[in-house]
Chain A
């Protein structure tokens, strides 16, 4: 039995070792890109101005901008955006409204506009602007959340500005948005009398169309002004805080006559900057296990690990360890070989499969030429992980990650292809939520029959299937190694995992732990650790006090207003605890160096140093050893404390998120709301155009021939927001020649009224 085991193990190991030689040397890593920017109307704009991470390459930035013209909402959710992955969260801000029949009357059917449908259809989405603003001006928001909500708000308002400008132009209403003061964002609705024609006087609901549009535009204006007023207030608050005496001299404005207030763009840039580093760590932490960086549930990376994963400055582009071959390109080729094997060993019985397979070479070509970019695509398309993570990771980590995924993929998918229907089916089982996506994809429909063919017939197909022990064993061996490595690497965190306590309990528990640790360190480690001991005790005492404070207050205070304060409290304590750990580390290093020095000239006996007759050296060595052991224990305790603190901080951040969710759950009934009446405007302006007041017998608007229907798209998006004209014998048609309305000069809405694209970018 042993012989067989050895034989198989030897074969697999040999194969594993030689497999990376199967392919040629990989291409060198591309150079770091210059910061991206575009010039629009003579102004240089950075990605941050569009809610996009500043780390994107120029080419990618231009691609996103191009996409913005074609698919404005999709561009908002690209991986590099602050809104990435928040589609569902933001979709909660779109109201579900009743569908309307051809006459503008509500039906029992409901409609909810979506981001990915009719992106360029103006007025298709019924936004709850009040809810958006509530969410936006929540004090617990992270800068990144604010950047996203600002982008979203601008996009949403832009859609409706575009809609009304378009309608006003179409019906020759002469209604325009204009700035009250060119230097301020505040808008007003003006009527350009020269442009106003009687085509806009057609009856609409219970009033003339002109009056209706005027009111609606007023509401939109009010939303816009309220939003920018709040932004200004927020900015003023932030500016005021810089005069806080606790701030350093460098933070305080000393320019006579006052300092310019930072623009929203600048603030966004700052937030995005944060989004690039801390944000990345947060995102990676959220899915540390799912991404395969660890096998331990709930394990989060510490700062050092995060830095290793994301720091591009120290990136060599090569990874080491389990699942790693030299570069990402090699792993991709292994991946390709798994995929190609399944295809080329199959019996193709349809042209679409044949065409599909003939494109595989294009992928291979890309794997060879552009491994990192190809990796991003494959990880996104095959494993369902968007480019967020890949963009955050440095090249070394990308290699490690991709290699790991592919290692698992190869290990689990091979063999199944011949027997049970192919990698798609297997992937579905193995990568449940992830590759389940694949199974729904047209590709699966194409390749699956081919793989079934492979399963059914042919010696070659069988041969291909029997390669599985190689892949499976390789996956298993490397998987085990990864588990071992992961366990080892994250040992300090495993202990912390047990502490699942409430937010209020964490600081107290941690405080007590810190107190005890401090005392323990002071007692056991002697004078060297006195400083650390004091620091830990102080931190602990503060935390116990804080826990008492929290318990003294009510729960809502904790979840709504006190979280930022809690964060503010956490940071210094965390820093202190980190300093404590670092101090312990330094001591350990010093002691270890001393031990190494002591061991010079000594011999090793039974795994221990033998100093011969030099008893003083032996005594010193033993003393140091004891000290090292004690310091190690202290360090472990301090690390646990640090972990608890970070957890507590993470919990506080979660509270922020919950705060946003709680806000977004506060859904308003929109049944009779107007286009804008469901949001802020709705609360300020009662809906006057009640549907029940409509007279179905009233004749249709037909004061002019060839007048188009005023309603935007029947039954879509606006609900009964824009009432439809009453039924008529004569169907309304588009105007023969609508005179062009003058573009609103220096107004916030988009210059092209008919374009729902980027939306307004108000001067801030």
Chain B
């Protein structure tokens, strides 16, 4: 009985610790454009912070939790994107049935917040709508922090432009 008691106490303590960990505030800074609302999220360490446009266009900005990484920037010696990184993405798409995923462009840039990998492309959503994406991945020695923008291909105009520009306001705070 005593053992059960200790186990339960231990469990509660660990649970509390985990809960605090899961709830702890994120370090990044991001200025969302007007008419974008942030979703409530009790577990920002485990679930991405999401900004949705309030209009009819399904424009979404997602900031996932940071990833602890020991591999650094996925860049070859010749400055190209490492094929394994791309292969990982393709494997994911295959696993989850994401169709027509295509990377149209990528670039590496040195920023004050660390080296940034930008990936642009498109895919077919589950509803069959062509969706564009822009990913910014920032790398430090041991952490990768990302921001993702998704918008339907048909969406154009100020809203999309503002959303794209807002990506520049993202500070991952990983250094």
Contact = CB atoms under 8 A, between A and B. Distances in A.
B96 A4 contact: no
Interface residues of B, number: 67
A337 B43 contact: yes
Contact of A365 (B5, B60, B88): B60
A22 B21 contact: no
A443 B91 CA distance: 7
A63 B82 CA distance: 33
A347 B70 contact: yes
B127 A370 contact: yes
Given A351-B84, A381-B95, A446-B91, A466 B4 contact: no
A619 B21 CA distance: 66
A463 B128 contact: no
B46 interface: yes
A171 to B, nearest CB: 40
Contacts of A469: 11, 14-15
Contacts of A370: 125-127
Most buried by B among A336, A340, A369: A369
A358 B46 contact: no
A345 interface: yes
A1 B5 contact: yes
Nearest to A377: B97
B33 interface: no
Contacts of A378: 96
Contacts of B126: 366, 370, 373-374, 376-377
A21 B39 CA distance: 10
A350 B84 contact: yes
A520 interface: no
Contacts of A365: 60, 62, 131, 148, 150
Nearest to B17: A463
B96 to A, nearest CB: 5
Contacts of A350: 71, 84
A359 B70 contact: no
Majority-rule SS of A interface residues: helix
A516 interface: no
Given A352-B88, A356-B92, A441-B95, A463 B21 contact: yes
A443 B87 CA distance: 11
Interface string A352-366: 111111111111111
A291 to B, nearest CB: 20
B15 A467 contact: yes
Contact of A466 (B17, B62, B92, B128): B17
A380 B125 contact: no
Contacts of A470: 15, 18-19
A740 interface: no
A655 interface: no
B47 A464 contact: no
Given A23-B41, A357-B67, A365-B62, A337 B46 contact: yes
A377 B96 contact: yes
A355 B127 contact: no
A442 B74 CA distance: 20
A343 B64 CA distance: 11
Nearest to B97: A377
Nearest to A459: B21
Interface of B: 1, 4-5, 8-9, 11-12, 14-15, 17-19, 21-22, 37, 39-43, 45-48, 50, 52, 58, 60, 62, 64-71, 74, 82, 84-89, 91-98, 101, 123, 125-128, 131, 133, 135, 137, 144, 146, 148, 150
12 contacts: A22-B41, A337-B46, A348-B70, A355-B85, A356-B88, A358-B88, A358-B89, A363-B96, A376-B126, A377-B96, A469-B11, A469-B14
